Chain A
């Protein structure tokens, strides 16, 4: 069990060599750690002030110390930051000095933000945004993200208030059966719910179009066996302008390569071969492959000119691909061996490293040109919560089509609200009553 009041330490600047490197310490021992390892002329630990001096532990380096007094720091706890030279060696030594002193332990991933959240310095959505920014390792993503957290809170609040007033109609009808003005509750409720449904659908769709920003682009390479899928993967991994970040071990049916290209993170996945001769992909029984295709943001479908029997051959996709057509990019491989002039997709030779540049550029622009300005979701958790709310509201509309009990309808709606508020915070049934009595004149 982690003790929430113990002191944690971590390097706060991005990994790698940089001008300045920051080590951040948060918790009750922060000041003690500062006193122990930093020598300055007048180290008074005044809040927010930078003290010039010298770090001295197992390494020595000149730099600054900044102290933030609780609760005015990022985490809400006493915080000390060492601003030193950005050498990984120095920073790592500082960390191990501090951890070895027993005054602090290494912070877990996102733990500073978690403390900020627990201390009420940020709300859940902001925390999520910050964490996404942190894990978004490049500037393009970070830039987009920073503006979203406020938008989401606003959206949830406005949706919630719409639903609360839609419930209010039903509640008034239930609680005051004898009042004349409560008669047409359902007629007032349905349009509000329909509006909410449409708005949720839009929001989800925006996210689906934009989520590559937050979790990277998943590109699945598909095609018949021996069309050169692995060669393409290798070519991408070896491409000079791509920064390869990770190549996990081979799994039974897929190999992945993660690269950063043009400011976007890509994961390329090589799937098991799909045999066209056997027709539908379901028949292949490789559920995993199908799942990969479903999750893909983009599918590269590879054709091998040597496998094509000249004129008759067209470049249709196998049957099961119907539902993916709008995210498929057709690629003709092995053009060094045989070119097919009328092929309209991208032509490459993975083996010879030909056309890889063009392929990546094409993929990059495919995503960069997307209009993502309307999106305001930035985590799958938010996405699935909204999706759940949508499905409950659709159930409601479905239910309202038949004969209708207002109390059952209200139960659907309050469930949807509950789910939505999980994204931001909480609501009590009092909100609903307030709404009832704000809008209706009722009394006993």
Chain B
């Protein structure tokens, strides 16, 4: 686990680096993260059964075919469930509390975990419509987060 910086440490000369966990990208997941950097939400679709899935796998988890393609999802979906983190997942998330983590059912079918970016965490509800937004947290990493469609 990443330790919180000690108070006595000298202040960094550069803007504070992104200290939260970053995905350890592997060959099976690289197309997803590469697309995110281009502000696209790319997920696998099975040519055999027609269903999408997420996270990306080598075989379709529905029909186990290996005939898969990457397609751009609409970036729209609805909240299947959510939790408001009142305690952080380690010190690097402490400044974000409270924050909303949601399971989003994409309009294409699969569920995806992400953050709901909102000024008021208390207004989030199951069934709320959401749309993707792209947070370029480093030059190499873009995180697809979501915001509520309701005002």
Task: Tell me if chain B binds chain A.
Answer: no
